[in-house]
Amino acid sequence: MSKRKFGLVLSMILAAGTLLGACGTDKAKEKEGSTSTPKEDTFSIAMVTDTGGVDDKSFNTSAWKGIQDYGKENNLEKGDGGFDYLQSKEDAEYMPNLNKLVQRDFDLIYGIGYLLKESIEEVATQRPDNKFALVDEVSDLPNIASLMFKEQEGSFLAGVAAAHMTKSGKIGFVGGMEIPVIERFEAGFLAGVAAVKPELKVDVQYTGDFAKAELGKALANRMYSTGVDIIFHAAGGSGTGVFAEAKERKKADPNAYVWVIGVDSDQYEDGQIGDDNITLTSMLKRVDIAVKNTAELAAKGEFPGGEVTTFGLADEGIALADSRGAIPQDVLDEVAKYTKQIADGEIEVPEFKAKK
Amino acid sequence: MEYVIEMLNIRKEFGNFVANDDITLQLKKGEIHALLGENGAGKSTLMNVLFGLYQPEGGEIKVRGKATAITDPNVANGLGIGMVHQHFMLVENLTVTENIILGNEPKKMGMINVKDAAKKVAEISKLYGLDVDPYAKIEDISVGMQQRVEILKTLYRGAEILIFDEPTASLTPQEINELISIMKKLIEEGKSIIIITHKLQEIMDVSDRVTIIRKGKGIGTVITSESNPVELATLMVGRQVTFKTEKGPSYPAEEVLRIENLVVEDYRGIQKVKGLNLSVRKGEIVGIAGIDGNGQSELIEAVAGLRKVKSGKVFIDSKDVTGKKPREITESGLGHIPQDRHKHGLVLDFSVGYNVALQTYYKEPLSKKGIMNYKLVSKKAKEIIEMFDVRTQGEHELARSLSGGNQQKLIIGREVDRNPELLIAALPTRGLDVGAIEFIHKRLIEQRDNGKAVLLISFELDEVMNVSDRIAVIYDGIIVDTVIPTETTEQQLGLLMAGQSRDKAAVTLTEGDDNHVE
Amino acid sequence: MSNRFINLLVPIISIILGLLVGAAVMWFSGYDPVAGYIALWNGIFGDMYSIGETIRQISPYILAGLAVAFAFRSGLFNIGVEGQLIVGWFAAAYVGMAFELPKFIHLPLALIAAALAGALWGLIPGILKATLHVHEVIVTIMMNYIALHTVNALIKAVSEGGYKTEKIHQTASLRSEFLSNLTDFSTLHYGIFVALAMVAVMWFILEKTKTGFELKSVGFNDHASQYAGMNVKKNIILSMVVSGAFAGLGGAMEALGTFGNMVTRGGFTGIGFDGIAVALLGANTPLGVIFGASLFGSLKYGAGNMPNEAGVPIEIVSIVIALIIFFVASGYIIRVLLSKMKKKKEAK
């Protein structure tokens, strides 16, 4: 009896919602015509994160920084008509989040991460007059600008630095999931190590997840225990486990020779332990620069829709972070030499890992 | 005479239902006072009022002459009233002492002081002859011992008045005797006892006076020594009860059940039925007498197809049903009243109607091509409720909320209604009051008179003696002897059940007679 | 107070309580609770788009809830709905992309594939439980991990090293232009009708069929069922298979409706686990599951609008939503307690 009641109440609520909903749409349409555009001249931007969230200390954080930088330079405020972000907790939220931003009339909407490709393409098809940008994946749609990075170039430099800095001769790589983006990291890193010391072995492992710090920590523990002294991680949130393991070892024995090479943004702060720091350097993927550049181009009316813009060493979309003294000058000189060769196109860094 | 407890004109209602209507019970100091009534008569409610679990709507309670409001069990404890529950409230993996002090642990510098408590427990135990090891774990001791722990618990908390709720329900005869002597010891030490029960013999054995209630109403109080079981039963049920089951002679015809050299193992792989032979014919009731654990359960389960037959054969109506599936065997004409009605006989969370359908739901007319006809189920249920006098609010009531007797009537109704050639009734009257027992015995005899075969398994000697036409005595997995009830005595039967051969039993009895002057 | 009145009052009070406590949390964290709740309301019912997305979100919850509830009615705790859903998702996505068939064959085929995959994933713990008495909770939890990683490997295999399957063909899609246009380009698809049809199926099996009678009987008391001649093993296996099939269809909602493909997953979808709460909120009855799924689905989806419209951070929103569900669940507890108390009174 009571169950039936529930159903009844529920359907009534749903029905009421439909009616109210209908009113709502009408009002929204009215708004479009009259009040919604107070500042006609500004160019507003917003982004949708992937499930990593805006605080992933990785490319979502970096993208949000780019959006904020753009906002500051153009005197925009957070919110409608300025800049904003929405976080996605589940894959199913990408589409609704993108749509929400469309409804809030942002001029350019970013989808951060390869996971948003399907969703952003679908929304972009439904809304051909809106502008979108997609990070880390390529789309052919005329109203989507694809922003790609040559992660392999920066990873190559990280490999060069690691090959020079290792004392044990053992180097580790911890990846998130075996997807094309991360495989570019791996391929570049292996090539960089091989360029300096072809005989060195790199222990390559994947956590299978970008958000499981405990898996990263377990892998790092195993690697350090077998003599690895430098680990390069490209595992997003799982990478924080690598840092945690290295810091534990440094804390237990301040003389321990353990290093982590960070990824995406400068992870120097993540490596701080007392007066020591175990971050050797970080491979910067300047999503912020890519995001900001694209916004500026679009504001000028030069939106690179349907095009793939690739950021690499040459345009500083990829770089190594300041090592703050951890890497001696002679190694830095060596790194600088390779940087120039890559930027000039003398060295072509492989994008895919060699098939085993 | 001084009364320690007086419950005067107590009335307790639950909504529209009056559970206790004008009941008076006066407990003298130093007496054992029985509270007698059928299942559901309101005995437990009355005691829960005394123990502070319920507040009465009318009447008053005087403790040692002073009107008192017992608002919760703590108040009752403070007044020296202790309750020994039917279902023990003990923590299995704690020791006796730990269980006793649970809830008001004596502390020494913030630590629980088990040692002193154990000493005190041992002292009390000795004083009343309880013989309980304070350090034994509950899971390791017998049910009878666990009950003593419950008694100790009340004594430890300073109880002067002890309420026993159906204390013998789960005890062996030996344990019952011990309990009776413990009760007498308690009285000697100045305690007063109320015992709730519906077993007449116990009342005759231990109590000084009896208060009888029927359907929530106080019937009166009698002095035990001035009464007799027949009077008490009549007062309790409200009509004449016959103890000697009325039945005519039996006219056995052809064989329905035939068991040949049956061997069955229990779940541990130990042989429990060891080459048993048995035959039951149409128109007779064969009783299986024996002490619990001599292979009765395994025998029934093997016959019903619920347990693997190791070797031997079972025939029903000359059809070999050995190792067949339970349903095939029921289809061959077996009706089964299982010994554990809650576990095996009923789905307690199903309605009465669904339980009626439990054995016939799968075939027409109750279901057709996989679709149930619940209208018909209800109709069928109503018929059985009517025919077998199942007291229920209706076919939609859950089986769980029926009283034990009505649950059993429901099962019997369901099985008998299928008109099976062979009806196996395992402990069909366990835990039931006289009224229900009488009803069930009548139904079994009725089956017999209709030309069906009935196999009755019981641990109660008088039940086997009264109802059966033939008694097969089971001991250690075989039928050691078959006797005719009218030609044998309970003593003889008892000795056979203990494993003595008939000749030897006869000898022992003669010797016994020599030594005892009755 | 009449029975009906209580039945109606308890959930209302518990929702109000949940909203109040949630409001307090927002207020203490420095956000406007009124704006927050208006955003929540708008997120669920604000416009046709939101309504469409809300219903879309409810569909897999209904199926996951049915899966848990169905097993529960036969006395089994299927924690493996998550894994069954994942294999169903993959099966539907694969059939959707690998074959080219007319719609009236392709779509049913993809749905059946999903149901079969889920059923297979339920069959294994069912058999283990029935024959070897291995507890289904342990097996199903492990089967979840096996599902997750096997499916990841399969995605890689069918996409030749990629991380996602190709999009399904239109002929296998549950999407509809009609529903999409009706709801302002939302991802609403015909899955909700599949889900509601399954509600009817579960109700029919349990309340009308002989099999349902047996399943319920085994669920309440397997001993008595055995004594009554039922094949307990068969019923346990059947229950897990049907439960798995419901879960697999839940996966098909995602494959054929919401996403149109499957992407390598780092972790679980969570839908299967939420299904447990949905089933319990719905007292394991088919109609109750609709209620539970609607509550879960709308709150989950609507919550996304709170950061969007009211600026309440997602973490606070998660707490508020959890509180509301918590109170509704407690309301259910209150109701059970009330009815138990009533029963006790009647029994005495």
pLDDT one-digit tens code per residue, C86-138: 999 999 999 999 999 999 999 999 999 999 999 999 999 999 999 999 999 99
Examine the domain organization and report whether A336 and A227 are in the same domain: yes
CB contact at 8 A, A63 and A135: yes
Q: Is there a contact between C348 and B325 if contact means CB atoms under 8 Å apart?
A: no
Report the C-alpha gap between B178 and B192 in whole angstroms: 18
Nearest to C47 among A5, A25, A92 (CB): A25
Chain B: nearest CA to C233, how far in angstroms?
13
Instruction: Give the residues across from B218 on adjacent strands.
Output: B213
Residue B391 lies in a domain: no
SS3 B489: coil
Q: Is there a contact between A180 and C162 if contact means CB atoms under 8 Å apart?
A: yes
Q: Is there a contact between B343 and C223 if contact means CB atoms under 8 Å apart?
A: yes
Which residues from C are below 8 Å from B when comparing CB atoms? Answer: 208-214, 216-217, 220-221, 223-231, 343, 345-348
Query: Do at least 3 CB pairs under 8 Å connect A with C?
Result: yes
Q: Is there a contact between B401 and C346 if contact means CB atoms under 8 Å apart?
A: yes
Q: Is there a contact between C213 and B372 if contact means CB atoms under 8 Å apart?
A: yes
> Does the beta carbon of B357 lie under 8 angstroms from any beta carbon of chain C?
yes
Report the C-alpha gap between B4 and C222 in whole angstroms: 49
Last-in-domain residue among B237, B271, B306: B237
Count of domains observed in chain C: 1
Residues in chain C with CB shorter than 8 Å from the CB of B334 are none
Report the C-alpha gap between C204 and C242 in whole angstroms: 13
Q: Is there a contact between B347 and C224 if contact means CB atoms under 8 Å apart?
A: yes
Candidates B362, B380, B393: best to mutate against C (most CBs of C within 10 A) is: B362
Chain C: nearest CA to B325, how far in angstroms?
7
Residue C35 lies in a domain: no
Q: Is there a contact between C211 and B45 if contact means CB atoms under 8 Å apart?
A: no
pLDDT of residue A34: 39
Q: Is there a contact between B372 and C209 if contact means CB atoms under 8 Å apart?
A: yes
Q: Is there a contact between A92 and C261 if contact means CB atoms under 8 Å apart?
A: no
Examine the domain organization and report whether A296 and A267 are in the same domain: no
Give the chain C residue nearest A6 (alpha carbons): C291
- Average pLDDT estimate for C317-341: 77
Candidates C152, C187, C295, C300: best to mutate against A (most CBs of A within 10 A) is: C187
Domain that holds residue B188: 3-237
> Does the beta carbon of A138 lie under 8 angstroms from any beta carbon of chain C?
no
Q: Token digits for C258?
A: 């919401």
Residue A168 lies in a domain: yes
All chains having 3 or more CB pairs closer than 8 angstroms to chain A: C
CB contact at 8 A, C85 and C250: yes
Examine the domain organization and report whether B155 and B201 are in the same domain: yes
Q: What are the pLDDT tens digits along chain B (518 aa)?
A: 588 999 999 998 887 778 888 899 999 999 999 999 877 788 888 998 998 888 898 899 999 989 998 888 888 888 999 988 877 888 888 889 988 888 777 777 777 788 888 898 899 888 888 888 889 888 888 778 888 898 998 888 888 999 998 888 767 667 788 888 899 999 998 899 999 887 788 888 889 999 999 888 888 899 999 988 888 888 888 877 666 677 888 888 899 999 999 999 987 788 999 999 999 999 999 999 988 778 898 999 999 998 999 999 999 999 999 989 999 999 999 999 998 888 899 999 999 999 999 999 998 889 999 999 999 999 999 999 999 888 888 889 899 888 888 899 999 999 999 999 999 999 898 878 788 888 899 999 999 999 999 999 988 788 888 899 999 999 889 999 999 988 888 778 878 887 777 666 665 555 544 444 33
The letter for the amino acid at A131 is K
CB contact at 8 A, B193 and B186: yes
CB contact at 8 A, C292 and C209: no
Examine the domain organization and report whether A257 and A144 are in the same domain: no
Q: Token digits for B367?
A: 């279901």
Q: Is there a contact between B326 and C229 if contact means CB atoms under 8 Å apart?
A: yes
Residue C347 lies in a domain: no
Q: What are the pLDDT tens digits along chain A (356 aa)?
A: 444 444 444 444 444 444 444 444 443 333 343 344 444 568 999 999 998 888 877 789 899 999 999 999 999 999 888 999 999 888 888 999 999 999 899 999 999 999 899 899 999 998 999 999 999 999 999 999 999 999 999 999 999 999 999 999 999 999 998 888 899 999 999 999 999 999 998 999 999 888 788 999 999 999 999 999 999 999 988 899 999 999 999 999 999 999 999 998 889 999 998 889 999 999 999 999 999 999 999 999 999 999 999 999 988 889 999 989 899 999 999 999 999 999 998 999 998 877 54
Last-in-domain residue among B237, B264, B295: B237
The 10 Å CB-count burial string (b at 16+, else e) for B276-309 is bebbbbbbbbbbbbbbeebbbbbbbbbbbbbbeb
Q: Is there a contact between B348 and C226 if contact means CB atoms under 8 Å apart?
A: no
Give the chain A residue nearest C60 (alpha carbons): A92
> Does the beta carbon of A7 lie under 8 angstroms from any beta carbon of chain C?
yes
Report the C-alpha gap between B333 and B317 in whole angstroms: 8
Residue A4 lies in a domain: no
Examine the domain organization and report whether B427 and B476 are in the same domain: yes
CATH number for B281: 3.40.50.300
Give the chain C residue nearest A180 (alpha carbons): C162
CB contact at 8 A, B456 and B286: yes
Examine the domain organization and report whether A131 and A157 are in the same domain: no
Residues in chain A with CB shorter than 8 Å from the CB of C11 are 6
CATH number for C261: 1.10.3470
pLDDT of residue B1: 57
Residue B245 lies in a domain: no
Residues in chain A with CB shorter than 8 Å from the CB of C153 are none
Count of domains observed in chain A: 2
Torsional class of B132: left (φ above 0), alpha (ψ -120 to 50), beta (otherwise): beta
pLDDT tens, A291-346? 999 999 999 999 999 999 999 998 888 999 998 989 999 999 999 999 999 999 89
Residue A297 lies in a domain: yes
Examine the domain organization and report whether A215 and A171 are in the same domain: yes
Give the chain B residue nearest C347 (alpha carbons): B401
The letter for the amino acid at A102 is V
Q: Token digits for A49?
A: 């994160």
Residue C134 lies in a domain: yes
Residue A123 lies in a domain: yes
Residues in chain B with CB shorter than 8 Å from the CB of C210 are 361-362, 367, 370-372
Nearest to C229 among B327, B348, B367 (CB): B327
All chains having 3 or more CB pairs closer than 8 angstroms to chain B: C
Examine the domain organization and report whether A55 and A187 are in the same domain: no
Residue A34 lies in a domain: no
> Does the beta carbon of B45 lie under 8 angstroms from any beta carbon of chain C?
yes
pLDDT of residue A54: 86
Q: Is there a contact between C44 and A17 if contact means CB atoms under 8 Å apart?
A: yes
Q: Is there a contact between A17 and C186 if contact means CB atoms under 8 Å apart?
A: no
Residue C11 lies in a domain: no
Residues in chain C with CB shorter than 8 Å from the CB of A14 are 51, 294
SS3 A190: helix
Tokens 């009318």 correspond to what residue? B58
Which sign does the torsion angle of CA B475, B477, B478, B484 carry? positive
Domain that holds residue C227: 48-297
Domain that holds residue A237: 151-285+325-343
Examine the domain organization and report whether A96 and A240 are in the same domain: no
Residue C30 lies in a domain: no
Chain A: nearest CA to C345, how far in angstroms?
21
Which chain B residues in 317-356 lie under 8 Å from chain C, judged by CB atoms? Answer: 325-327, 330, 336, 338, 343-350, 354
Report the C-alpha gap between B4 and C240 in whole angstroms: 61
Residue B114 lies in a domain: yes
Q: Is there a contact between C210 and B343 if contact means CB atoms under 8 Å apart?
A: no
Residues in chain A with CB shorter than 8 Å from the CB of C162 are 180
Residue A105 lies in a domain: yes
Give the chain C residue nearest B344 (alpha carbons): C224
Q: Is there a contact between A24 and C46 if contact means CB atoms under 8 Å apart?
A: yes
Report the C-alpha gap between A258 and A247 in whole angstroms: 9
Nearest to C209 among B346, B358, B371 (CB): B371
Residue A195 lies in a domain: yes
pLDDT of residue A152: 94
Nearest to A115 among C49, C263, C267 (CB): C263
Nearest to C226 among B44, B326, B362 (CB): B326
The 10 Å CB-count burial string (b at 16+, else e) for A151-187 is bbbbbbbbbbbbbbbbeeebbbbbbbbbbebbbbbbb
Last-in-domain residue among B190, B206, B237: B237
Examine the domain organization and report whether B228 and B279 are in the same domain: no
Report the C-alpha gap between B181 and B175 in whole angstroms: 10
Count of domains observed in chain B: 2
Examine the domain organization and report whether A334 and A300 are in the same domain: no
Examine the domain organization and report whether B269 and B190 are in the same domain: no
Task: Mention every residue, 6+ apart, whose C-beta is less than 8 A from residue C43.
Answer: C50, C301, C302, C303, C304, C305, C306, C308, C309
Chain B: nearest CA to C196, how far in angstroms?
21
Examine the domain organization and report whether B83 and B228 are in the same domain: yes
Residue C25 lies in a domain: no
Examine the domain organization and report whether B166 and B290 are in the same domain: no
Residues in chain B with CB shorter than 8 Å from the CB of C212 are 372
The letter for the amino acid at B467 is V
pLDDT of residue B170: 66
pLDDT tens, A111-124? 999 989 989 999 99
pLDDT of residue B143: 77
If you write DSSP's letter for every residue of A332-352 in order, what string do you get?
HHHHHHHHHHHHTTSS---SS
Nearest to A17 among C45, C254, C318 (CB): C45
Q: Is there a contact between B401 and C223 if contact means CB atoms under 8 Å apart?
A: no
Nearest to A210 among C186, C266, C269 (CB): C266
pLDDT at C346 over 60: no
Tokens 């299978």 correspond to what residue? A208
Examine the domain organization and report whether B188 and B39 are in the same domain: yes
Examine the domain organization and report whether A231 and A253 are in the same domain: yes
Tell me how far CA of residue A71 lies from CA of A44, A179, A291, A302, B42, in angstroms.
Answer: 8, 32, 11, 18, 79
If you write DSSP's letter for every residue of B145-163 in order, what string do you get?
HHHHHHHHHHHHTT-SEEE
Examine the domain organization and report whether A257 and A295 are in the same domain: no
CB contact at 8 A, B184 and B50: no
